[in-house]
Amino acid sequence: MQLRRWLSGLFIVSYLCCLTWGVTAHSLKYGLQGNTLSYFVVWDMFCGWQAFDNRTHIIAEGRSGQYYDVRPPWGEFTPFGNVPRVHYDVSNNLIPKHITNVLSHTTHEPIARVYVVQEIWAKQYNVPEPLWAKYFDEPRDKTSYFNVRAVLSERGAVLNSYPDWFDQQTLIAVSDNPRLQLAAQRAVPFYNTFIKPSQGAESASRTFQSTQSSELNSN
Amino acid sequence: MTTNVSGIRRLFTPIRDFFFEEQAPYGMALVRIFLPISIMIPMVRRFMHVRELFSSDGAPQPLYELFGQVNPLPPMAPQIAAALYGMLMIAMFCAVVGWKTRWSFLIATPLYIYFNLLDSVGTMTKYSVIASHVLIMLTLSNCGAVWSVDAILRRKELGAAATAVPPRFPIWQSRLIQLLFSFVYFGAAITKIQTEAFFSGEQMRYWMLSNWNYSNPIGEQMAMWTPVLLLAGYVTVVWEIVFAFLVWRPTSRLFVLAVGVMFHIMTCLTLGLYIFPLVCTSSYLAFITEKDIVALRRFAHKLKIPSSVLGIPPRVVAWIVDQRPAAIPAATLWLSAVVLAAVAAAEIEYRSDAYGIQANNGPLPLPTMDAATAESMIRDQKPLRERDKYFSFDVGTVLMGNQLANRRSEFTYGERIVAQCTLNIPHGDLWVECMIQDDQNRTVEHAGQFVTRDMLHANFAYETGNSLVPGTYSMVLKSSNKEVFRREFTLSGDPEKVPTMNEMMTN
């Protein structure tokens, strides 16, 4: 009986320590990366929503040039409403597996490449028709923007990847600034092959001396 | 020395009483009945997709991979996955009726966590995390001691020696569920505090207009009233923080829990969350004490509510169990039911032909796509339209938390007209102009301001002075020199009633 009480006490203390660690680590944004179990003690249920809605389209291009919709022909599973599962894959980890699964369970010609395309539209167009009529004077003119995120092989291997549409818009906004453009042009990144801190301070002088001695100095 | 020891003991006595006070486990029994029902609603829906979501013949997405770790729980072959899924479902059912309760939870809890971990995209959510915590507590508790098949069978076994007094156990498992909710709400409040634009209501609006959850028509209506969302945001965060401090006090306990239930009902109506509120409100039942049950029984008796109907399912199962031949132990019957469920689930999954291969005598063809449509998607280079940089443009008079709190199209002299444009992020740095034009499209007033990329809204204010004559006007918003919005309004009244304005001043 006493042992059971002690074990219960130990469990209570350990459990409360885990919960405290979760809240503290989440508040300080420390120690959560690469730790799956942290998902069980971090309570980030409202972590921000974007002003634009997005969906993922997967288009396969056959060797004949025919395009295919890489969508399960046996029916898509919609986990939380009427949006298919693949659209919930915000980190794009599922997409290669989804492609492999659909292509391996369907008949088709050999596939040359598979495009992963983001579809984006402003969220005000999600407003139902009666609400639109009440709150918006303009005609409902929904436009979708498409952005290729990646090009993959038939087996789901990434051949090319491109920035996310949201990141791209931010980059456009930043690069639109002439002052920043000029600063970026001046600050050309380079990798110094002369100075190697791991070889000590004299490494640079040795490198320059050897250059001089071999008489290959372009000066 | 003795004084010190007794002093330390005195210090720990309240903590010991808090966790190890003995009560009949009615609250936990209620959680045992309602939580598995809530979490099995989405799990039953996934049964026909076991092969695709949870097996090596599908596309599972283990949570471990998202965190860049090696998955210690790999997906199984489809037949095994389906059999385990069948075991999960029968174990949850047995837990609800309280038949071999502890063993049922010992099967159901790890399997529930395992299947959730396998599909981090379409199954694992924060409600499954909360449910996993509560399932662990139920496994460790004596929740099957009352209102269960186990309790009925035990009473029958004891016969005349059975007593009407319910068994009592330490309540630390229900205390840990209560503490879990305090941590959950506190952590959720911290997340909201760290979320940019939460307290301006914009984030809530975008969530309400996202169709990622179930239908939420009330949320879509509310999304158009940002000041209400702003107020709701503050109330939510304050309640989430004070929950942990007030839920233990007898005077405030019921109020805090009632607000909690209301909060979860509102998340259902406004955000389209269906399972999350069910999981949370059924876990709230862990807050129910022995005394509450006595009071609830009296209340039900007074109103003549037939509360005994809740006991029908366990009584039916107990009766079935009782019909077995005497030579077969109840445990064998339970084990047979679990094995039968596993075999049946594997067979059903196989016959359901998840990929349509058997029905089609081979794999289904991959759907083709129109070349023009595909190429327009692949090669789309459209820049963001000016119109799509803005969510809305409204005209009113009252600002609340820097948000327009009313929309109006009729104004009188002396009023302050506020025109507000709300913007969709990401947008670049903008020069936004707002103009008042008369009924012949002549510009009467013209103002502009920089709207930087971080801004979510911009306001333009006008004092309706006597330089305007009564009539119809338009408030026009221009962005990058393009007209984006136009709102008509009428100005009425007597311009002489307001003092004459300086010519250099704005209307």
State the residue for tokens 């998202």. Answer: B66
Give the Å distances, CA to CA, from A132 to A139, B199, B203, B224. Answer: 9, 25, 20, 10
Q: Give me the helix-helix angle, B250-271 and B275-283, nearest 10°.
A: 170
| B391 vs A22, A51, A134: nearest CB | A51
Which among A43, A70, A143 is the nearest to B184, CB-wise? A43
B140: helix, strand or coil? helix
Q: Is B206 on the interface with A (CB under 8 A)?
A: yes
Ranges of CATH 2.60.40.1930 domains, chain B: 387-497
Strands (E), A46-123: 52-62, 67-69, 106-107, 111-122
CA distance linking residue B271 with residue B284, whole number of Å:
21
Return d(Cα B406, Cα B398) in angstroms, integer.
6
Q: pTM for this structure?
A: 0.90
Res. A185: pLDDT tops 80: no
Cα A218 to Cα B375: distance, rounded to the nearest angstrom: 51
pLDDT of residue A216: 41
How far apart, in whole angstroms, are the C-alpha atoms of residue B197 and residue B204? Answer: 9
Q: Which residue, B167, B113, B169, B165, is CA-closest to B141?
A: B169
| ipTM, two decimals | 0.90
CA–CA gap between residue A62 and residue A67 (Å, rounded): 6
Question: How many residues does the structure list for chain B?
Answer: 507
Tell me the pairing of strands B482-492 and B410-412: parallel
Partners of B473 in the beta sheet? B438, B489
Across the interface, whether the CB atoms of B377 and A117 are under 8 A apart is answered: yes
**Cβ-contact A108, B365 below 8 angstroms:** yes
Domain map (residue ranges) of chain A:
2-40, 52-175
Q: Rounded to whole angstroms, how far apart are CA atoms B463 and B417?
A: 6
Residues 232-271 of B with CB under 8 A from A: none
Residues 48-107 of B with CB under 8 A from A: 49, 52-53, 58-61, 63-69
Q: What number does CATH give the domain B387-497?
A: 2.60.40.1930
pLDDT tens digits in sequence order for chain B, 507 residues long: 556 667 777 778 899 999 999 999 999 999 999 999 999 999 999 999 999 999 999 999 999 999 999 989 999 999 999 999 999 999 999 999 999 999 999 999 999 999 999 999 999 999 999 999 999 999 999 999 999 999 999 998 888 777 778 899 999 999 999 999 999 999 999 999 998 778 888 888 999 999 889 999 999 999 988 888 989 999 999 999 999 999 999 999 999 999 999 999 999 999 999 999 999 999 999 999 999 999 998 988 888 887 777 788 889 999 998 888 888 898 999 999 999 999 999 999 999 999 999 999 999 999 999 999 999 999 988 999 999 999 999 999 999 888 899 999 999 988 999 999 999 999 999 999 999 999 999 999 899 999 999 899 999 999 887 778 899 999 999 998 899 999 999 999 888 877 766 554 454
Name the E strands within B339-389: 364-365, 368-369
Q: What is the pLDDT of residue A194?
A: 66
A8, B374: Cβ pair inside 8 Å?
no
Residue B35, pLDDT score: 98
User: A100 contacts in B (CB within 8 Å)?
Assistant: 59
Q: What is the largest CA-CA distance in chain B?
A: 105
pLDDT higher than threshold 60 for residue A206:
no
Cα–Cα distance measured from residue B5 to residue B11, given in angstroms and rounded to the nearest whole number: 10
